[in-house]
Amino acid sequence: MLFSGRVAAAATAVLATTSAQTYSSCNPLQSTSCPADTALGMAIHVDFTQGAVNSFASSGNPTYGSDGVTFTVAASGQAPQLMSLFYIMFGRVEITLKAATGAGIVSSLVLQSDTLDEIDLEWLGADPTEVQSNYFGKGDVTTYNRGQFHKTDNNQEKFIKYVIDWTSERIVFTVDGTVVRTLTEAEADTNQY
């Protein structure tokens, strides 16, 4: 499966989650009555320069234009975002993104399940030279030692293509055509893959 899009981020671009980064409306590890999730089940290409698409819900009033979708953080505590209306179980996610500037602003691409398994990329607004790759399993955030930082070429001034390629055996993170991290199931922390 392929998902791709162009984003001018000023806060967060999020896949398969709701308004909080580690939130699940129904965690199947805690309830047997969770509804089935809608699977993508095919490849899609999203071009946000053409406007909003019906496979994403938004919060925080994003705008659409020649740079794609733009998010604005006007006050402390705001976290505008897009949430996919589908789930993937393995696949390739591509995004062309210009990260937001500003101390305290985090642009992110998050793949998250209802059980709070998470694969993500994060860009800190105070540092235009790095992106962080990360993963969590079952919402376990007792330690934050799973992240790695990767150099980028001024990610706040130009659009850069990022890829998360996820299979049952490994996750590959790519920045601007260069593989920056490969995480195998065997290398992941216990119960974290």
Query: Rounded distance, CA 179 to CA 148, Å?
Result: 13
CA angle 136, 138, 39 (to 5 degrees): 95
Looking at the chain, the whole-number percentage of residues with pLDDT higher than 90 is 59
Predicted model pTM: 0.83
Q: Which of 118, 157, 185, 187 is catalytic?
A: 118
Side-chain-facing half-sphere of 33: CA atoms under 13 Å? 0
Domain extents for the chain? 2-22+39-184
Q: What is the pLDDT of residue 15?
A: 38
What architecture (CATH level 2) is domain 2-22+39-184?
Sandwich (2.60)
Q: Active-site residue 122, yes or no?
A: yes
**pLDDT bucket at 2, cuts 50 / 70 / 90:** very low
Q: Which of 122, 130, 157, 169 is catalytic?
A: 122
Q: Active-site residue 157, yes or no?
A: no
Q: What is the pLDDT of residue 151?
A: 97
